[in-house]
Structure 1
Amino acid sequence: MSPIKFIIAIGLSICYQGAAYGQPKPQQQYLQQVGTLDSLYSETLQEYRKIYVELPENYNPAQNEKYPVVFILDGEVFLPTLTNIHRFYSGGFFPEMILVGIANESHRMRDFTTSKVTQMYGRPFEQDNGEAVNFHKFIASELIPYIEDTYPVTNFRTLIGHSYGGLFTMYSLLYHPAVFSNYIAIDPSLDWDDQHLLKAAQALIPSQTFKNKSVFMSLSGQLHMQDATITLENVMQDTTDFTLFSRSNMAFANLMTTNAQNGLDFNWKFYPKDLHGTVALPSIRDGLISVFEWFQMEHTDEINNFDTPKERLMEIVKYRQQKLKAHFGYAQPPYPEELLTMSGYMNMDIGQPEKAKMYLEFALKYYPQSANAHAAMADYYENTNNTNKALLMLTKAFDLSGDSAYKERLDALKKKK
């Protein structure tokens, strides 16, 4: 065994022993804890409502950075799924965001359904329902202002709902499109009240403008509860109540796709191997990737090519900056700080100092309060024998963070001068 492998093996052994025999602290007894509990009183609903808030892993309050925000209905169920997907895909496929799970343990049918019914399938129906108007008022006039006052969010918002929550999501799009930028409706219950919302949409969709709005809708695979021969190709010919759900969703999707003149970016997907209860997981992932497709990085082949001229790389960075501003509606750093500093170090290592300086200058420009960005630029100046500027950068890094490691580097560099 090589010395390096031996050291790694010893290190892992120590870690495993510590995990096995050390007494864990109370906060270390869980593999994952998701969502900090918060609440607010709603004058509209006349009750307290619980929410769960998950901040980005890289959140640093000292940097005063604000994030887009995702609101997910049935948050007590779906926030863990949303959080895991966000951790895997954010940065490359969609931005880092603040996630808000709206709890709906008690009144989901009342809050999510869009019209009042007293009968269902020919039988009396007495459960509270049909108050989506009030619930949307709570979200728009109470919850969103509370989140904006309490957490570092921007006004770029995404709404996600499943089943009745998907019905509410489509209601929000049709009647209050300005509140959210993105809508993800997962297997929405558009059969509600004899397709009441679908019928309303047939008048609203062709006549309204949905510019800069994105929608993703999913449909689970069980098109007929009792007949496996029903497929996407023949379901619209069925007239039984067993296919009303799937037929309603497909009619809604067709309405959206045939009215592209309204400016709506609409995508939908069929999940043949998923049931109504399982389709949420793949839909959240695919939905976020879909509505944020424009966020994905472009020209990565040129960025990764060592022969790409610095001038072309600058064009790519500036283009992305303009593109993000156009979609978000406000200025946004084109790349994460870590990517810019990493690119700077990589170009230093391969002997391309001008490109290294360019990336590190971008890091300083877009993250001016970052001690790490200043320390990286100090490394560049030290590497190019510009001790005075290296000292200035390290001084700024120490002033921003108070980290003693920067002070030690600063003192050592002064001694070399």
Structure 2
Amino acid sequence: MKIYLLMLSLILSNYLSFSQNDISIGKSEILHSDILNEDRQLEIHLPKNYNNSDKEYPVMYLLDSYYNFTHTVGVTEFLYLNRLIPEMIIVGVRNTHRNRDLTTDSSQLSKEQQARMGTTGGADHFISFFKQELIPHIEKKYKAAPYRIIVGHSLGGLFNVYTFFKEPNLFNAYLTISPSLWYPNSLISEQLEKGFTINPENHTSFYMTLATENSGTMRGNTLKLSGTFENYKITHEDSNLRFKYQPMQEESHGSTNLPSLYKGLKFIFEPTLYEVPKSKEEILALGGALEVIEKTKEYYKQLSQNYGFEVSNEYALTDLGYSFLRIEEYDKYALKAFQDAIDSNPNSYNAFSNLGKAYENLEELEQAKQYYEKALKMVKETGDPEWEFYQVDLENLKKKIQDKKE
């Protein structure tokens, strides 16, 4: 009985020890603002391999973080795992006086509206907080690239629109969800009536949605803003401004947040998805295999300059390599595509595995074995639970080598 109780105690001890390992998606920190004369709570999410990387990451500034931080982290990680967006730092900004920070002064508010809103008119101070305190703090403390996204919903969306007109180059991308454009704002009204008088200097993306809101002013101004963007694009063909309006009639004002975030991030980083040629005819039309490889690398080099951080070319070169493998007379060029992927992404176990597959396809089995072994060693070090796939590739190759010897 004593032995049984001892064994049970050990098992429960191990179980309890295991169950106490917390899952963390971020951390909280306090930044004092002299401009706002108060402390502001920030919620910070860092990419998985942040501490082991020397890369700089784009930064998402998330308004209304209390409501949005958890699902935003989930969406960004999901999109990254599916190769649709890069990894990023998320900076959630908790509210203290939401209506104050996200609105401007307005003499057009009714007495009832003003009474319900309480203190308003602090948007300019809030912009200054971002520009002079928060952004410098984040870019000094963290490995932050100079590419900034702001996400705002409802009054946060109103703040996005106002900031875009007031400080168009403060952010590189504006993800604007069901903006409260019912709120009277003289600068926004002026821009909607006269047409944009701004010209963003950087490569700016503006994504906007609207749910089932039936308020005439809110819906009308959102549609007017969309039309103004479209006219601007037509009259400024050389502009680096990208815009997309996506109505979401199936969503409520609250539920539109999640799908807007998902689709908005895909839009912002859509240029990072490069369509590689799939056929012999397409490859020849682009100048041949070697020229296609160089054009792909050049595209990502230019893209990295536009975004202000390194946009990985790994997936494009990988797709290109597999395109070459499917065309018999081009399969040898797959080696170069996969090798260039390794050269640009030396910490990617997938890149080494793909080069191994190319050598196996060419029946250069000993070469393939070296790269499979390297990939397996690397993936095990990451803790990726799918390391067994790499083990199977290696074991199958070893059997193939043995069968060939016999």
Shorter chain as denominator, the TM-score bin is 0.7 to 0.9
Query: Once structures 1 and 2 are overlaid, which stretch shifts more, 208-217 or 323-332?
Result: 323-332
Q: Any idea what the Cα deviations from partners look like across 1:164-202, whole Å, max 9, x if unmatched?
A: 10011111111111111111111111111x353431323
Match of 1:68 among 46, 58, 66: 58
Distance of 2:269 and 2:128 partners within structure 1: 26
1:333 aligns with 2:285: no
Distance of 1:267 and 1:371 partners within structure 2: 36
The residue correspondences of 1:8-407 to structure 2 (distance < 5 A) are: 22-23=15-16, 25=18, 27-28=20-21, 33-57=24-48, 59-90=49-80, 92-104=83-95, 106-116=96-106, 119-120=109-110, 122=112, 125=115, 127-192=118-183, 194-202=184-192, 205-210=195-200, 212-224=203-215, 243-260=216-233, 261-262=235-236, 263=239, 264-299=241-276, 301=278, 310-311=289-290, 313-329=292-308, 331-335=310-314, 340=318, 354-368=332-346
TM-score, normalised with respect to structure 2:
0.72
Q: Identify if the C-alpha distance between structure 1 residues 183 and 123 changes in structure 2 by more than 3 Å, giving closer, same or farther.
A: closer
Q: Secondary structure of the residue that 2:341 maps to in structure 1?
A: helix
Distance of 1:285 and 1:329 partners within structure 2: 22
Unpaired stretches in structure 2, ≥5 consecutive residues: 1-10, 382-406
Give the number of equivalent residue pairs. 355
Q: Identify if the C-alpha distance between structure 1 residues 385 and 268 changes in structure 2 by more than 3 Å, giving closer, same or farther.
A: closer
- Whether the aligned pair in 2 keeps the contact of 1:74 and 1:102 (CA below 8 Å) is yes
Query: Once structures 1 and 2 are overlaid, which stretch shifts more, 371-380 or 144-153?
Result: 371-380
- Whether the aligned pair in 2 keeps the contact of 1:221 and 1:274 (CA below 8 Å) is yes
- Whether the aligned pair in 2 keeps the contact of 1:190 and 1:245 (CA below 8 Å) is yes
Query: Once structures 1 and 2 are overlaid, which stretch shifts more, 204-213 or 152-161?
Result: 204-213
Distance of 1:272 and 1:48 partners within structure 2: 38
Tell me the CA shift for residue 381 of structure 1.
9.3
Distance of 2:191 and 2:284 partners within structure 1: 53
Q: Identify if the C-alpha distance between structure 1 residues 293 and 188 changes in structure 2 by more than 3 Å, giving closer, same or farther.
A: same
Q: Secondary structure of the residue that 2:196 maps to in structure 1?
A: helix
Unpaired stretches in structure 1, ≥5 consecutive residues: 1-17, 225-242, 402-417
Distance of 1:78 and 1:96 partners within structure 2: 18
Q: Identify if the C-alpha distance between structure 1 residues 134 and 184 changes in structure 2 by more than 3 Å, giving closer, same or farther.
A: same
- Whether the aligned pair in 1 keeps the contact of 2:212 and 2:250 (CA below 8 Å) is yes
- Whether the aligned pair in 2 keeps the contact of 1:34 and 1:79 (CA below 8 Å) is no
Q: Which amino acid aligns with 2:120?
A: N
Q: Secondary structure of the residue that 1:50 maps to in structure 2?
A: strand
Q: Identify if the C-alpha distance between structure 1 residues 283 and 369 changes in structure 2 by more than 3 Å, giving closer, same or farther.
A: closer
Q: Any idea what the Cα deviations from partners look like across 1:218-274, whole Å, max 9, x if unmatched?
A: 1111314xxxxxxxxxxxxxxxxxx22222222222222222234332211211121
Identity score, percent: 24
Q: Which amino acid aligns with 2:68?
A: F
Q: Identify if the C-alpha distance between structure 1 residues 62 and 291 changes in structure 2 by more than 3 Å, giving closer, same or farther.
A: closer
